[in-house]
Amino acid sequence: MTYLDYQATTPLAPEAVEAMLPWLNAGFANPHSAHAAGRKAKAAVEAAREAVADLMPDNGNVSFTSGATEALNWAIKGSTGPIVTIATEHAAVLDTVAAEVRRGREVTVLPVGSDGLVELAAAREAIRPGTGLVAVMLVNNEIGTVQPIEELAALTKQAGALLLCDAVQGYGREIIPAECDLVAVSAHKVHGPKGVGALWIRDGVRLEPLLHGGGQEPGGRSGTLSPALCAGFGAAAMLAKQRFGADRGHVAQLFRKAYQALGGSGWTLNGSMDDRYPGNLNMRYPGLDVARLMSDLRDIAFSAGSACASGSGRPSHVLKAMGLSDIDARSSIRLGFGRYTTEEELLAAVERIDAAAREQRFAA
């Protein structure tokens, strides 16, 4: 199997597996217990918290969650005032703000251009005094576009609002902008385990709890933490920091090679060429039947869009927001690659994808 779906999830790093094993065996104690075994488990959690925080801005605290979906829900529902967000955000943001609308909260969804970047003129109009929260994705999970966080942060600060950054796809791959007030991340997108994420909360920011109970986490989140999951996340974060430049250079080289192989053969890039994370290659091919393509190439794992929306039958809301037709949106594929992808396997897969797409076209 050639795995090219890094935006859906990443392979678990061996270092993360190694870090988890002791806490899956003898180190099973509750990290919130006062006895010696509990204190030892707590120490592992705190070491992991520090490692995750090392990739965040200064002057804040990491609260562990069950994943980024919980972190985003907490940040949005725990804040107050009108919300401004972007049409290409993840469903964990868009569906949550839609739920807030039903509760009577004002929400403005900003449009994007054909490159997937937010329209800053609309942002200037919408982000005004009285706004409570601006929610923006750093790296888009479908098209890899990197939004202009610094410009949006300046508008947010002028308005006296909080800036929530969905950094799920950018954490460990891009520098998290220092201007953020809230940052949501997920371990399994950086070679850590599934089932654990975090919300970084700037000092002085207060959120209403999403989950009520013991209030174990610094931000007030309740629930017993898994030392194993936290340790795996911490190890993955530490490795991402150590390998930041090497990983970035590797995916940039893979992007250049893959785009060169497809760019001149009828494929069109979706999203900005310049403002993007290079580990994401979203391309469309005229008249492509993606379901048939995936069936013909079952030993290559790639995506037609977000894994969270797979099976819905609807064209990608991200591609539609960029102005693509239903046909073009449904004729698009997403290739995601990273640390453990080799150039040889990527180019072999791209060659087969291109050949299968051409065969479809000539057979039509």
**Sheet arrangement for strand 268-269:** 268-269, 280-284, 332-336
Token pair belonging to 121: 């003129």
Instruction: Compute CA distances 223 → 63, 74, 160, whole Å.
Output: 11, 14, 32
Q: At what angle do helices 343-363 and 244-263 cross, to 10 degrees?
A: 30
Q: What are phi and psi of 151, to 5 degrees?
A: -65, -40
Q: DSSP strand E in the chain: where?
A: 2-3, 60-65, 83-86, 107-110, 133-137, 162-166, 182-186, 197-202, 268-269, 280-284, 300-301, 332-336
Residues 128 and 103 sit within 8 Å (Cβ to Cβ) = no
CA distance 91 to 98: 10
Residues 176 and 57 sit within 8 Å (Cβ to Cβ) = yes
**Is 308 designated active site?**
yes
CA distance 135 to 230: 26
Residues 136 and 93 sit within 8 Å (Cβ to Cβ) = no
Which candidate in 165, 180, 230, 308 is catalytic? Answer: 308
- Bridge partners (DSSP) of residue 201 are 61, 182
CA distance 230 to 167: 18
Nearest residue to 116 (alpha-carbon basis) of 272, 324, 283: 272
Catalytic machinery residues: 308
